[in-house]
């Protein structure tokens, strides 16, 4: 059988099976059980904050965060165009409107120098996204938020353990949001969590995710949602978080190995790690230089034929038909110029990045990439 390296696989090196079997043997498999609270406590402590609220996925986390800070119709939220749909969808569901900002050309995170020009009297929050494991410039974001009295919701879905000036991402803003999808550094298969130091936001999100039940049960003073995580998923999450430092360093080491193996390869731009930042390389993303004449899609097709799986970079939000066709009244304005996002959106892709990717497999991936690029130059 020919060798094939998938783009990402979950890494479950600890007590995951033991804890899951415990939930089954004790019949605590639904949205109650000890693993839920233990997971929330351990993960929030890992991030350096006081409270955590686990939920079904990162979209749910972002939506809960938006509800907690009181977003409503007529409000606007600054968000990068270079991201996936979840943060914009969460904003739109509250009635608020996303306002797009281009990406930084080196980190691919939101360009902090272009945020202020998008702020007006309707702006209520900034939602930075820590792209592909690299932290945003949080000092500048927090300075702007303070200047204009804005809330900050961090989308840290791809950045478990990433650090800015020695502090973990997700802990800077009013609320941080994480994903535990199967390709994340810490996974529950499917899942998410909000973290915060604000007890009011914590109680609000904890209540809303459970239909906003009052006492007695089945009494409701506000509309809630069902974003409850199961005890089974939390059991996996607790086991993963017990090994959080190791899992983060394992993923980071995959990125550092690629850096060494690809540093002299022409035709590609490697991911950066800016000063005072710890990039965890959730996915090792590269961008084709302009002198590579083949399209990104042609290159990744050739890689797949050689046994290397990849994923394309995000399609920027201002290119999404659901927004361009204005099917909703509070969709973002897509008419501005976003040159960095447009370029990396069509020239970028990421290489296999599993936390347990072996050196042998990394060398295999790099050899195949070099082979494809060399073929273009001959």
Percentage of the chain modeled with pLDDT above 90:
96
pLDDT in tens, 338-368: 999 999 999 999 999 999 999 999 999 999 9
pLDDT in tens, 39-86: 999 999 999 999 999 999 999 999 999 999 999 999 999 999 999 999
Ordered strands of the 76-80 beta sheet? 51-55, 192-196, 175-179, 151-155, 123-126, 76-80, 97-101
Name the pLDDT band for 1 (thresholds 50, 70, 90): low
- In this structure, are residues 58 and 177 in contact, taking their beta carbons and an 8 Å threshold? yes
pLDDT in tens, 313-340: 999 999 999 999 988 889 999 999 999 9
pLDDT of 92:
98
pLDDT of 264:
96
Domain 245-377 has CATH 3.60.15.10: no
Q: Where are the alpha helices (DSSP H) in the chain?
A: 16-26, 34-47, 58-68, 85-93, 138-148, 199-208, 231-242, 244-262, 296-305, 321-324, 339-347, 359-377
Q: What is the mean pLDDT of residues 137-153?
A: 98
May I ask the CATH architecture of the domain 16-243? Answer: 3-Layer(aba) Sandwich (3.40)
- In this structure, are residues 39 and 177 in contact, taking their beta carbons and an 8 Å threshold? no
- In this structure, are residues 173 and 151 in contact, taking their beta carbons and an 8 Å threshold? yes
Q: Parse the chain into domains and list their residue ranges.
A: 16-243, 245-377
Orientation of helix 244-262 relative to helix 359-377, angle to 10°: 30
pLDDT in tens, 227-270: 999 999 999 999 999 999 999 999 999 999 999 999 999 999 99
End-to-end CA distance of the chain, in Å? 30
Task: Tell me: pLDDT of 377 over 80.
Answer: no
pLDDT of 138:
98
pLDDT in tens, 128-143: 999 999 999 999 999 9
For residue 79, the 8-state DSSP code is: E
Task: Tell me: pLDDT of 183 over 70.
Answer: yes
pLDDT of 273:
98
- pTM check: above 0.95: yes
Name the pLDDT band for 378 (thresholds 50, 70, 90): low
pLDDT in tens, 91-144: 999 999 999 999 999 999 999 999 999 999 999 999 999 999 999 999 999 999
């Amino acid at each position: 059988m020919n060798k094939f390296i998938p783009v990402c696989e979950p890494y479950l090196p600890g007590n995951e099976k033991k804890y899951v079997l415990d939930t089954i043997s004790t019949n605590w498999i639904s949205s109650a059980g000890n693993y839920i609270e233990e997971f929330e406590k351990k993960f929030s402590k890992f991030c350096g904050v006081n409270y955590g609220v686990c939920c079904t996925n990162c979209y749910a986390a972002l939506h809960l965060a938006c509800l907690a800070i009181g977003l409503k119709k007529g409000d606007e939220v600054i968000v990068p165009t270079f991201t996936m749909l979840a943060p914009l969808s969460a904003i739109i569901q509250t009635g608020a409107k996303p306002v797009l900002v281009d990406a930084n050309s080196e980190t691919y995170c939101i360009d902090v120098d272009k945020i202020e020009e998008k702020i007006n009297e309707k702006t209520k929050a900034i939602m930075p996204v820590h792209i592909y494991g690299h932290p945003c410039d949080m000092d500048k974001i927090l300075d702007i938020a303070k200047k204009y009295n804005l809330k900050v919701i961090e989308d840290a879905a791809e950045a478990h353990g990433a650090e800015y000036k020695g502090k973990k991402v997700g802990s800077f803003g009013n609320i941080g949001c994480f994903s535990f999808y199967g390709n994340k550094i810490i996974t529950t298969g499917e899942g998410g969590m909000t973290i915060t130091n604000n007890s009011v936001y914590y109680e609000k999100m904890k209540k809303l995710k459970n239909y906003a039940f009052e006492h007695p049960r089945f009494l409701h003073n506000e509309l809630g949602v069902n974003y409850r995580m199961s005890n089974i998923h939390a059991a996996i999450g607790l086991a993963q978080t017990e090994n959080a430092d190791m899992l983060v360093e394992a993923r980071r080491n995959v990125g550092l190995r690629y850096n060494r193996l690809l540093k002299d390869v022409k035709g590609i731009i490697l991911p950066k790690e800016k000063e005072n930042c710890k990039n965890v390389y959730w996915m090792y993303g590269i961008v084709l230089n302009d002198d590579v004449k083949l399209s990104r899609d042609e290159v990744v097709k050739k890689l797949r034929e050689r046994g290397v799986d990849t994923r394309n970079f995000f399609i920027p939000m201002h290119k999404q038909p659901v927004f361009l066709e204005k099917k909703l009244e509070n969709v973002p304005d897509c008419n501005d110029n976003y040159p960095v996002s447009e370029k990396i959106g069509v020239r970028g892709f990421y290489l296999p990045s599993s936390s347990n990717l072996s050196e042998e497999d990394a060398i295999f991936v790099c050899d195949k990439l070099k082979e494809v690029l060399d073929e273009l130059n001959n």
